[in-house]
A = this chain, B = another copy of it.
């Protein structure tokens, strides 16, 4: 048993005991801004974020990139690798990070043998799907303020679940350029919106961290209210 197995279990919502026999195959470090995977590459490993942040993205022919998801420690980087050899997106380290890989053949064998593990993996995919629906609503129907507020609230929730918040503050290594790529906006406009959030006393943020000062206010803007 090791830290990566624990993370994998945590990510899939499973009891640690389920994963006792799982052991990591690789354990890698990578520097910020390096690609972990590029779209189209093949691979026989499923990777899990152990430390640091990363993001999934697609590079468009005209140079713009659309971010599909932001990955924090405990997230599975390529959960569909078990069923699809081709990865349809690229993954880049956002900070210096560590991640570890599990051979998909071993995971898949376990998936079949262990019903609880299958359920856990399915729940992981379902949760991601639900998350993507939220993103679609943001990009399709909501204003810049709403998208950014929602992004912040979403990250807050996920970090809190993993015990990575202190008070109302958390590590926040996202550059405004990245927030822009995630929300479908331009960096300039993100700067304007974040600036107004700060002036209105909703948030405080400095180098690498963010603090939610007025949670109800932020929720009034970015809550999905579904």
Q: Which of A112-165 contact B (CB under 8 A)?
A: 112, 115, 118-119, 122-123, 125-126, 128-130, 132-133, 135-137, 139-141
Given contacts A119-B83, A226-B39, contact A136 B137 (CB under 8 A): no
Q: Which of A2-56 contact B (CB under 8 A)?
A: 39
A206: interface (CB < 8 Å)? no
User: In which size bucket is the chain A interface?
Assistant: 35 or more
Enumerate chain B residues within 8 angstroms of A125, measured Cβ to Cβ.
80, 83, 125, 129
Is there a chain B Cβ closer than 8 Å to A207's Cβ? Answer: no
Pairwise interchain contact B89-A133, C-beta atoms closer than 8 A: yes
A96 within 8 A of partner (CB): no
A149→B95 CA distance, assembly (Å):
37
Q: Is the CB of A88 within 8 A of B119?
A: no
Cβ of A68 under 8 Å from chain B: yes
A-B residue pairs in contact (CB < 8 Å), sample of 23: A39-B226, A58-B137, A60-B137, A60-B225, A60-B226, A61-B225, A66-B136, A66-B140, A68-B133, A80-B122, A83-B122, A83-B126, A84-B123, A88-B133, A89-B133, A132-B132, A132-B133, A135-B136, A136-B139, A139-B139, A139-B140, A139-B184, A140-B184
